[in-house]
Amino acid sequence: MAAKITNKGGIWIMQTRLIGIVLIVGLIATLLCSCTPLGATPSYPPASIAASTATASSITSAESQTPAVTDAPLPYQDASLPVEARVKDLLGRMTLDEKAGQMIQAERGSASPAAVTKAALGSVLSGGGSTPGDGGPEAWLDMTQAYQQAAMKCRLPIPLLYGVDAVHGHNNAVEAVLFPHNIALGAANSPELMKQMGVAVAEEMIATGIPWTFAPCLAVAQDPRWGRTYESFSSDPALVTSLALPYADGLLAGGAIPTAKHYVADGGAIWGTSKAIGYHIDQGDAAIDEQTLRHTHLAPYLAMIKAGVPVVMVSFSSWNGVKLHEQKYLLTDVLKGELGFQGFVISDYNGIEQLAYGTLAEKVAAAVNAGVDMLMETGLYAMALKAIVSGVNNGMIPQARVDDAVSRILRVKFEMGLFEDPFLQKRKAGGFGTDEHKVLAAELVARSLVLLKNDGILPFKAGQKVFVTGPAADDLGAQCGGWSLSWQGWTSDNRKTGGTTILAGLKLAAARAGAEILTDSADLEKADVVLLIIGEKPYAEGVGDSPDMSLTGKLALDGNVPALELAKSSEKPVVALVVAGREMVISDELKSWNAAVMAWLPGTEGQGVAPALFGERGFTGKLPMPWYRTVEDIGKQEAEPLFPIGYGLEQK
């Protein structure tokens, strides 16, 4: 049985709904007592849980007395009542417009706080790089508090859910600690540290007023040409599950709300099937049988749902030609029926607009009827809201489907304590950008390094002169990759945030080891060994779909070619360090290297790379996916990989 996910303050069990006697008594008494009349804005939150408990205990005698005018909380405001009672009570108070508002997630760029109040929106997101002010924590907190205050002004003050892609740290925020991307975490394979990472990321999110992250990604990537390969922990579903679960547990323990995405088989699409302009495989079609879908791609969701994950995000991709955003069998029959998922399903970024129908209203109806509960509609959110209302009024969308969707959304908001803590002030105030988080991130970097080849040149030794070259040596953006301060990340050496480059870490380690780092080409002759640090440009999603995965192709860092040539012409021993979001094609270059290490996308704490190179610790990373010799070998069971999944030399 998967670990029970614990949210703040206790074990949270989503599987059973206890409708106790307390509920019936509470509801009857509530209707009798003279609490805040319907329609007025109740005083929220109730004076105190103790006060409402006192009110509850006196309710049983209320029938015989003229109900006193009290500000007793309404059932939905009463934290002592079972969640289902609170959901049922609140749902019963909502108008159709308010219900439709809860089902909408707009983007901060298109919906102001005033719009949240006006339309009673349930959620707002920051898309990748959609940052307020200077992007620092104060600017984020000011913004998210303004949105929540706006939500509290609604006729029914329902806490707003603000969501971000904190996919390897609070990566939209300047000065946040950016952890290695998921593929590196797959190589590190440290479940015990995943929970700590979840808590750390939650702390940095909560510090900026943000409770919800669209992570972890449960993709089981099969084709490394996919631009989202680095968002996958592994091509092995068991490894994905073993890392995603503790990570989600850590997020919840830290007071944040995780999202299992992208449901389902986003990592199973076939190359060349994408219909998105300029993409090749991202958002493509998983042309696979149901057995493969279940044991490879659905498997991680089973554990996450059993553990109570609150949100599932739908994949842009298709399964056998049908877009997931309208796959009723998978979204409703399997996810909510067979697997018993009790949270809510959110569409991906304007994903419903990709559905092949004439009008937005038809697309909204198709998605909602298939099982989508909240629509991530960044620009057309007002039209989408109206489409839900009109869809119910004209029969395209059953009222019961809307009530189920809203109940799911409210359930998560109640379960996550947002009604009692809309401004996240009761959550443990953790740190933002702390040394503790940096140490944890650097440890994960160190554990993620995979030693691919070593003829004995490693570790570097005292007295050695190490000449460092290559475009990924001193570029914080290159080592962070996509989803870093912006959607596509950044490259160049102008620092937009704090962090330690790989080169800076090498200099510190060399000093400790009594070795010397050289970077001026005039010093090449003096060097004992060349450390070649090359890799990929940052990218995200289909922008990173790579036909060749080569060190000199369209996604390769511009400085790769001259660095490769310099290393080769130096006639010195060469150690190559690859900084990339996937296992690139290196079969030819590898032959001329004395040693090679895969460093993946380490994030802001590049100091985690040097210690193993200098022998301060061993290499323990193992490949989380097969490393193909050529692009043509991808997916061919009979083709022998350059390195198999699980490969990694150990240097004690």
- For 264-372, list the strands marked E by DSSP: 285-286, 311-314, 318-319, 322-323, 344-346
Measured between alpha carbons, how far is residue 5 from residues 9, 56, 344 in Å? 11, 30, 17
Shortest distance, position 376 Cβ to ligand GLC, whole Å: 7
Between 261 and 447, CB nearer to ligand GLC: 261
Between 198 and 648, CB nearer to ligand GLC: 198
Parallel/antiparallel/unpaired status of strands 595-598 and 450-454: antiparallel
Between 263 and 643, CB nearer to ligand GLC: 263
Between 88 and 261, CB nearer to ligand GLC: 261
Rg of the chain over all Cα atoms, to the nearest angstrom:
26
Q: Omega into 459 within 30° of 0, i.e. cis?
A: yes
> If DSSP codes are grouped into helix, strand and coil, which group holds residue 652?
coil
Q: Work out the angle between the directed axes of helices 83-93 and 399-415 (0-180°, nearest 10).
A: 130
Shortest distance, position 269 Cβ to ligand GLC, whole Å: 13
Q: CA 623, 626, 632: angle at the middle one, nearest 5?
A: 150
The strand pairing partners of 34, in sequence order, are 69
DSSP conformation letters of 82-131: -HHHHHHHHHHH--HHHHHHHTEEEETTT--HHHHHHHT-SEEEE-TT--
Between 121 and 524, CB nearer to ligand GLC: 121
Shortest distance, position 79 Cβ to ligand GLC, whole Å: 30
Shortest distance, position 617 Cβ to ligand GLC, whole Å: 34
Between 52 and 171, CB nearer to ligand GLC: 171
What is the distance between the alpha carbons of residues 177 and 467, in angstroms, rounded to a whole number?
29
Shortest distance, position 620 Cβ to ligand GLC, whole Å: 29
Which residues sit at the interface with ligand GLC, rule CB under 6 A?
Answer: 127-128, 165, 214, 261, 348-349
Shortest distance, position 232 Cβ to ligand GLC, whole Å: 12
Category of 17 on φ-ψ map: left (φ > 0), alpha (ψ -120 to 50) or beta: beta
What is the distance between the alpha carbons of residues 561 and 553, in angstroms, rounded to a whole number?
10
- For 182-264, list the strands marked E by DSSP: 212-213, 259-263
Joined together, the tokens standing for residue 138 give 């104060």
What is the distance between the alpha carbons of residues 323 and 306, in angstroms, rounded to a whole number?
25
> Dihedrals φ, ψ of 311, to 5°?
-135, 145
Q: What secondary structure letter does DSSP report for 631? A: G
Residue with the two structure tokens 């460092």: 468
What is the distance between the alpha carbons of residues 314 and 486, in angstroms, rounded to a whole number?
22
Contacts of 578 (CB under 8 A, 6+ apart): 534, 535, 584, 586, 596, 597, 598, 599
Joined together, the tokens standing for residue 602 give 């380490």
Q: What secondary structure letter does DSSP report for 519? A: -
Between 349 and 539, CB nearer to ligand GLC: 349
Between 105 and 570, CB nearer to ligand GLC: 105
- Tell me whether residue 203 is one of the annotated catalytic residues: no
Between 485 and 551, CB nearer to ligand GLC: 485
- Tell me whether residue 289 is one of the annotated catalytic residues: no
Check: CB of residue 631 under 8 Å from CB of residue 555.
no
Active-site hit among 107, 475, 536, 541 = 541
> If DSSP codes are grouped into helix, strand and coil, which group holds residue 553?
coil
Active-site hit among 78, 249, 266, 348 = 348
Shortest distance, position 520 Cβ to ligand GLC, whole Å: 42
The strand pairing partners of 450, in sequence order, are 598
Q: What secondary structure letter does DSSP report for 285? A: E
Contacts of 374 (CB under 8 A, 6+ apart): 102, 103, 104, 105, 122, 123, 344, 345, 346, 347, 405, 409
Between 129 and 308, CB nearer to ligand GLC: 129
- For 503-635, list the strands marked E by DSSP: 516-518, 529-535, 574-579, 595-598
Shortest distance, position 350 Cβ to ligand GLC, whole Å: 8
Parallel/antiparallel/unpaired status of strands 595-598 and 529-535: unpaired
Shortest distance, position 172 Cβ to ligand GLC, whole Å: 10
Instruction: Tell me the catalytic residues.
Output: 348, 541
